């Protein structure tokens, strides 16, 4: 492409992104498409002959982007939304545009330095030791958890992990189990501890389990706590768990992928007491730190633990080793070639300041509490789990109506399916104590109370529709 053609192409891309950011509230958040429909749009052999670039771009804007669910949309309430910010989007464009290799010092001293500095910012935010501590940016929370558990195993077990035991609660995110499996642990080495009525790690059950395992000659080596469970936003009793880990010489990993960012708010800080005691902490900037995908982060109390776990010295990297005060991030994690993730974090924090992040996070925590108050004051809704770190679980259950558990499950499942089919909001269900509930994760600062009210109104409409159907069938 000529310079002029590149510019024209680039401006069109930026225009499309800006337009998307400015109008997303007016668009439908949900994309629905069957495999057949997508095949009919896209399936073809890799073309031998090229096509006009503008034509390809136009096709992509019209067919690809419109057929993708928008997790940054104010009415995307499900899973953990990804409310990204424009400055970071542009930073990602720069990082990709310059194709900066962010693996080692020799390739880009500035990229390595920015990763060190932004990791230092995070260490300070989470109360980790500034000098000894360290970390690495990863593709997401799953990879951060895998990096943590690999490190924990290396530090606590060395080469022989045949008797190593790992503990997590039944509310821990599935990426932890995935990581444990990837690492080659057997089923018998995993202890899933039931949570209490508030979905918190049950400390007594954990203590008993560790004691029993010790008696059997096994080696408890790692505990995974969660600060902000995906289902309910619950924070495990971090201080108590930290004490157990210290006494038992167990690696204390906290998965704070979505919830840890709440430390920037007053309420979050108090809920997250004890987070600073972890040996390792997963934080996902592509969740509540408002970064575009893909950006996870692992912080560790002792940065040497990462380099001891991941350093390899092949002959083809000997000329770029550098001196010992320099950090090569390829020696701190799994990836050798890495994109320049620190740039978006750096540019957005520099541009907005932490103050704006604090404001946005506080806003979302309070929004969820307002939604809870509204639901509690209504005759139609039942709060199943109170607003916690901007997550709220509830179900349609009109006062005075006698429904069986099964009927309530079907009712709420129907509401969710209809809302999603309408494409007006992304609101799916989860299961709490076996009940089907609607779950909203309200971490998007663009989500307003009136967005939520409109969605609840839509739910009530489908509830009415379902009641009509029931009456017709009786
Ligand atoms: N841990 C928790 C608590 C999460 O909520 C999630 C995702 O929602 C993950 C880990 C996985 O993170 P990612 O999807 O970035 O891999």
CATH at residue 366: 3.90.1150.170
Q: What share of the chain is helix, strand, coil (3-state, %, to 5)?
A: 50, 15, 35
Residue 325 has pLDDT above 80, yes or no: no
Residue 460 lies in a domain: yes
CA of 143 to the centre of ligand 1 (A): 9
185, 240: one domain = yes
Structure tokens at 459: 């739910």
In a domain, 345, yes or no: no
- Residue 90 domain-assigned (yes or no): no
Pocket of ligand 1, candidates 142, 195, 253, 275: which has the most ligand atoms within 8 Å of its Cβ, to mutate? 142
Residue 322 has pLDDT above 90, yes or no: no
**Ligand 1 geometric centre to CA of 137 (Å):** 14
Do 311 and 432 fall into the same domain? Answer: no
Q: pLDDT exceeding 70 applies to what percent of the chain? A: 100
Q: Are 405 and 465 in the same domain?
A: yes
Share of the chain above pLDDT 90, in %: 95
Mean pLDDT confidence for 289-308: 98
Query: Are 147 and 42 part of one and the same domain?
Result: no
Domain boundary among 340, 365, 390: 340
Q: Which residue has the CA at smallest separation from atom 4 of ligand 1?
A: 257
Same domain? For 123 and 73 the reply is: no
CATH number for 132: 3.40.640.10
- Predicted pLDDT of residue 320: 83
Q: Is 283 helix (H, G, I), strand (E, B) or coil?
A: strand
What pLDDT, on a 0 to 100 scale, did the predictor assign at position 297? 99
- Report residue 326's pLDDT band, with 50, 70 and 90 as the boundaries: confident
Tell me what the mean pLDDT of segment 263-280 comes to.
98
CB–CB of 463/415 below 8 Å? Answer: yes
Binning pLDDT at 50, 70 and 90, where does residue 323 land? Answer: confident
pLDDT in the model for residue 470: 87
Query: Phi, psi (5° rounding) for residue 256?
Result: -110, 35
Both 294 and 151 in a single domain?
Answer: yes
Nearest Cα residue to atom 12 of ligand 1:
141
Q: What is the pLDDT confidence band of residue 441, given thresholds at 50, 70 and 90?
A: very high
Domain membership of residue 314 (yes or no) is yes
CA Rg, the chain, in Å? Answer: 24
Q: What is the mean pLDDT of residues 235-239?
A: 98
Domain boundary among 55, 83, 111: 83
The rounded Å distance from CA 4 to ligand 1 centre is: 42
The pLDDT, as a whole number, for residue 319 is 85
- 237 in Cβ contact with 200 (< 8 Å): yes
For the cut 90, the answer to whether the pLDDT of residue 466 exceeds it is yes
Please report the atom of ligand 1 found closest to the CA of residue 294: 15
Mean pLDDT of the chain: 97
Give the binding-site residues of ligand 1, using a 6 Å CB cut-off.
Answer: 80, 140-142, 173, 175, 226, 230, 255, 257-258, 284, 296
Q: Check pLDDT > 80 for residue 324.
A: no
Q: What is the CATH number of the domain that holds 76?
A: 1.20.1340
Digit-coded pLDDT (tens) for 97-113: 999 999 999 899 999 99
Q: Which atom of ligand 1 is nearest to the CA of 79?
A: 8
Domain tally, the chain: 3
Mean per-residue pLDDT, 123-144: 98
CA of 346 to the centre of ligand 1 (A): 22
On whether residue 446 sits in a domain, the answer given is yes
Same domain, 160 and 50: no
ipTM of the complex: 0.99
Which residue pairs from 174-178 have beta carbons closer than 8 angstroms and sit at least 24 positions apart in sequence?
A: 175/141, 175/142, 175/145, 175/146, 175/255, 175/257, 176/145, 176/149, 176/224, 176/255, 178/142, 178/146
Confidence of residue 287 (pLDDT cuts 50, 70, 90): very high
Residue 395, domain extent: 353-473
Residues 147 and 278 reside in one and the same domain:
yes
| Distance of CA 2 from the midpoint of ligand 1 (Å) | 42
- Domain check: are 113 and 182 in the same one? yes
- Centre of ligand 1 from the C-alpha of residue 193, in Å: 20
Q: Residues 318, 357: one domain?
A: no
Q: Give residue-wise pLDDT tens across range 41-85.
A: 999 999 999 999 999 999 999 999 999 999 999 999 999 999 999
CA distance 86 to 128: 29
Same domain, 245 and 332: yes
Same domain, 363 and 333: no
């Amino acid at each position: 492409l000529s310079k002029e053609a590149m510019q024209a192409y680039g401006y069109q891309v930026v225009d499309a992104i800006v337009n998307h950011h400015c109008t997303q509230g007016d668009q439908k958040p949900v994309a629905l498409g069957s495999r057949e429909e997508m095949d009919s749009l896209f399936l073809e052999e890799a073309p031998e002959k090229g096509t006009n670039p503008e034509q390809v771009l136009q096709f992509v804007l019209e067919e690809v982007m419109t057929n993708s669910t928008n997790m940054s949309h104010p009415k995307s309430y499900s899973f953990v939304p990804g409310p990204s910010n424009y400055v970071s989007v542009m930073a990602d464009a720069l990082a990709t545009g310059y194709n900066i290799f962010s693996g080692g010092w020799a390739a880009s001293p500035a990229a390595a330095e920015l990763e060190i500095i932004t990791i230092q910012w995070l260490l300070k935010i989470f109360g980790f030791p500034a000098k000894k501590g360290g970390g690495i940016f990863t593709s997401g929370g799953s990879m951060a958890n895998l990096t943590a558990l690999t490190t924990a195993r290396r530090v606590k077990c060395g080469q022989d992990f045949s008797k190593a035991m790992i503990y997590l609660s039944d509310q821990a995110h599935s990426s932890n189990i995935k990581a444990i499996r990837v690492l080659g642990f057997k089923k018998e080495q995993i202890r899933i501890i039931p949570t209490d009525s508030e979905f918190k790690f049950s400390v007594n059950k954990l203590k008993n389990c560790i004691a029993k395992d010790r008696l059997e000659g096994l080696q408890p080596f790692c505990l995974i706590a969660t600060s902000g469970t995906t289902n309910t936003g619950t924070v495990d009793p971090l201080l108590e768990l930290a004490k157990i880990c210290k006494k038992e010489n167990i690696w204390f990993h906290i998965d704070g992928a979505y919830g840890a960012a709440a430390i920037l708010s007053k309420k979050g800080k108090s809920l997250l007491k004890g987070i600073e005691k972890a040996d390792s902490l997963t934080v996902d900037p592509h969740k509540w730190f408002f970064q575009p995908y893909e950006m996870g982060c692992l912080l560790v109390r002792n940065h040497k633990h990462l380099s001891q776990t991941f350093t390899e010295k092949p002959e083809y990297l000997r000329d770029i080793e550098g001196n010992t005060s320099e950090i090569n991030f390829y020696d701190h994690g799994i990836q050798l070639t890495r994109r320049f993730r620190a740039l978006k974090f750096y540019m957005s924090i520099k541009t907005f300041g932490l103050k704006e992040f604090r404001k946005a996070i506080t806003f979302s925590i309070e929004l969820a509490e307002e939604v809870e108050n509204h639901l509690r004051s209504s005759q139609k809704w039942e709060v199943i789990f109170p607003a916690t770190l901007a997550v709220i679980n509830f179900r349609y259950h009109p006062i005075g109506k006698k429904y069986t558990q099964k009927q309530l499950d079907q009712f709420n499942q129907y509401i969710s399916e209809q809302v999603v089919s309408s494409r007006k909001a992304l609101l799916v269900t989860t299961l709490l104590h076996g009940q089907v509930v609607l779950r909203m994760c309200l971490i998007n600062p663009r989500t307003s109370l009136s967005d939520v009210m409109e969605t609840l109104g839509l739910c009530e409409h489908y509830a009415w529709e379902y009641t009509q159907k029931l009456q017709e069938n009786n």
